A and B are shown apart, each in its own frame.
Chain A
Amino acid sequence: MEVNNHNSSKGKVIASGIIPFAFVILMMVYIFGPGADLLDFGTPLPEVTIEKVDFIGSEIHATVRNTGPIPVEVVMADINDRIQPAAVEPDRFLERFETTLVRIPFEWNEAEPYIIGITIEDGTRFEKEVESAAPALEPSLDLAIFFAIIGTYVGIIPVMIGLLWLPFIKKISKQKFHFFLALTAGLLLFLAIDSIEEAIEVSDESLAGSFNGSLLVATVTILSFLGLYYSGNKLVERASSSKLAKPVAIALMISIGIGLHNFGEGLAIGAAVGLGSVAFSTFLIVGFALHNTTEGIAIAAPMSRGKLMIGKLAAMGMIAGAPAIFGAWIGGFSYSPFTSVIFLSIGAGAIFQVIVVIMKWIRDEGDHNLSSASVASGFAVGMLVMYLTSILV
């Protein structure tokens, strides 16, 4: 009797959970079906976005996506506002979110700016400006090595140099140690803001309005934060049972966070080379390297409380730095603004997570008052150092 009762109440719970969904579906069916006329006022404006421009041989290739609310037809292409015959592959009809490739034969000149225009059937023209034409990068071993070298300079070497502060941090008092932990948090906060800024910039430039760029960044950042926060806590819980590994676990999380950030940075660098918008000067490399050296400190600080484990430390340096290489490869060889935005946001979320972990650690270590002089000044100095080195980039 009682079991039966329990079952029926469970059924009620399920039913009461499903009923609202059923109504939502009903409403949608009605709006798209018989009720469509009710909402049929106002003029939907068509929109296409030129997501990508490649310079290949004697042609300019534009990847065009329908980012508006209604189907469109690509009917004309122009270069610098001069009409050109072109080919559309596979065809000129674009449903919502569909893309097509517009091949415009054109004898373009390297390093010169071009504006690529696409006209749709109602005569509206959409354009995309390319600052400097550069031949599309053909994946080659030389280029892969070139990107690997840049990634090494920008990612691995500076992080490794930063790690060399470890013996110094090891010898200092707890107050000073907390200063360095807070400094790390400050550095990371700067990086997170930097990532978000860049993600929004990329989405503004290359993603259509229908992607809701800023909200996409916010959503991915928070999801990434929540995911890493949850799994990070599991990691630390497991680590604390074996005692020695808690600092290692935290350092590992920091390196993963920084690694994700550096992946995004690598994407940006690769893309910049690919799009020809950056002449890689040694000065720029030096700037990036100096900026990223501070990332090494962030890993070194928690590790200084454990035993000196050079192997693990080096591995973490690689986790933090090497993604810059992969990022540069992907960014250079198959750039997509959407992937860039996603990875930059994931990086930002990861870093926020690390900041929370560090602050918690400082608190657990006994400095309950997070507004102590060492913590506040550490945080402030962290931000300042990052800002000052960022001017070099």
Chain B
Amino acid sequence: MILLLSLFIGFSVIALFPTFSNAQSESKTFVTHSGSVIKTSGEIIDPVYTTTVPEYTESTIEFDPMEYLREFNYGNVSTLPDGSALREFTIIADDDQIMEVSPGIFFNVWTFNGTVPGPTIRATEGDTVRIKFINNGSKEHTMHFHGIHPAEMDGVFEIVGSGGGQFIYEFEAGPVGVHPYHCHVMPLEEHIVRGLYGVFIVDPKEERPPADEMVMVLNGLDMDFDGENNFYAANTIPFYYQHHPIQINTNELIRVYVVNMVEFDPINNLHLHGNLYNYYPTGTDIVPSAYTDMITLSQTERGIMEFEYDYPGKYLFHAHKVEFSEKGWVGVFLVNDNQDENIQDSDYGS
């Protein structure tokens, strides 16, 4: 009885006085959206800005968006009897990876070659692309490329079984442009939003002008499976390019291959600060369709953006559907003074 009573009293004391704050002597600080500095005796939870908490640095992020940004996979190249190039790739699908998608938040992602997005596959128009696809997942998966190819290479009806199922996708790269590839197994929405997608770039035979090239997949994560994204990002990790600005140079042509893979929300967009870009929808034409700082993209809509910065400094780029940017789809270009004397100031886009 006494035990029960003391239990009850203890319980009600806990319930009545919820905050026994054993304040620690050391205090930490962080900066808010509006710039004020907040001191706390506790911990900081802050996916937005770089903090002083040691465990919240990039080292905890398994996937490095900075590496992905400029990584292009050209495959194993050999020459076919007719003299054209054969590019061979191996892509392995899996669906059991737990990834730290934001500091402290873990999510079961489905992956091509272990990352979301999958590797950027790059070929030149007319090359033969041969992909050895292995499904190591526990579910059925396929690879469906946007582009021109025979029906049996479409990755829709040729389901690849789980636990090591294989399929060889082979087709001629085309048309020129930037295209998505993704798993096309039902339930399709789930297979896409869990991370089974990537970018397929087809270069024209006559190379594009040299540029600092990068890939941005605009994606979202529905952490609680309620059919709404909890995070948005360029290249998966929310707010990543905000704390780790993308370094570029003044007077250097920047070419961004942008693919919108956001599900649930009908549109996404990309707004660039302090500049405008030439926009090539789907990258299929050499004449830009617009010179603008704002392009709206629907599902799997994509294009190439080209621009140069005249002035050094920090420039934001983000969804101007600002809900998305407040949930992670925001980044910074850190424009450095170009040291290369030979580069001439071109009158880009004017």
Contact = CB atoms under 8 A, between A and B. Distances in A.
Interface in B214-264: 221, 223-224, 230, 238
A101 B21 contact: yes
A91 B43 contact: yes
A82 to B, nearest CB: 4
Interface stretch (A68-76, A149-157, A275-283): A68-76
B103 interface: yes
Nearest to B100: A121
Contacts of B104: 73, 75-76, 92, 121
Contacts of B327: 81-83
Interface in A69-117: 73-77, 81-92, 97, 99-103, 105-107
Contacts of B12: 338, 342
Nearest to B22: A90
A58 interface: yes
A42 interface: no
A83, A105, A336 — most chain B CB neighbours (10 Å):
A83
* B interface secondary structure, majority: loop
Contacts of B223: 119, 122-125
B190 to A, nearest CB: 15
Interface string B6-46: 00000010111011011110001011111010101111111
B18 A336 contact: yes
A63 interface: yes
B106 A122 contact: yes
Contacts of A198: none
Interface string A293-310: 000000000000000000
A339 interface: yes
A338 B105 contact: no
A88, A119, A121, A338 — most chain B CB neighbours (10 Å):
A119
A59 B34 CA distance: 12
Contact of B105 (A76, A87, A89): A76
A367 interface: no
A51 B230 contact: no
A128 interface: no
B72 interface: no
Contact of A88 (B45, B230, B238, B328): B45
A82 B43 contact: no
A316 to B, nearest CB: 29
Contacts of A74: 45
A119 B328 CA distance: 15
A246 interface: no
A65 interface: yes
B92 to A, nearest CB: 25
A338 B43 contact: no
Nearest to B37: A105
Contacts of B288: none
B30 A91 contact: no
A52 interface: yes
A344 B230 CA distance: 39
Interface in B127-148: none
B89 interface: no
Nearest to B322: A82
A85 B49 contact: yes
B50 to A, nearest CB: 11
B18 A119 contact: no
Given A85-B32, A105-B36, A99 B19 contact: yes
A99 B18 contact: yes
Contacts of A122: 105-107, 223
Contact of A85 (B19, B46, B105): B46
A94 to B, nearest CB: 12
Contact of A87 (B30, B102, B323): B30
A339 B16 contact: yes
Contacts of B46: 85-86
A103 B38 contact: yes
Nearest to A51: B18
A232 to B, nearest CB: 22
B18, B31, B101 — most chain A CB neighbours (10 Å):
B18
B40 A119 contact: no
A123 B107 contact: yes
Interface string A56-69: 00110001010000
Nearest to A93: B43
Given A105-B36, A121-B104, A123-B105, A65 B42 contact: no
13 contacts: A51-B18, A75-B103, A76-B104, A81-B323, A83-B48, A85-B31, A87-B38, A87-B45, A100-B42, A103-B38, A106-B32, A123-B224, A125-B224
Interface of A: 51-52, 58-59, 63, 65, 73-77, 81-92, 97, 99-103, 105-107, 119, 121-125, 336, 338-339, 342
Given A83-B328, A89-B23, A122-B223, 16 more contacts: A63-B19, A83-B238, A83-B327, A84-B32, A85-B44, A85-B47, A85-B51, A87-B30, A87-B42, A101-B19, A105-B38, A121-B106, A122-B105, A123-B105, A123-B106, A124-B223
**In the A-B complex, the 10 residue pairs with the closest CB atoms:** A123-B223, A89-B42, A75-B104, A87-B40, A85-B46, A105-B32, A82-B326, A99-B18, A338-B15, A88-B43
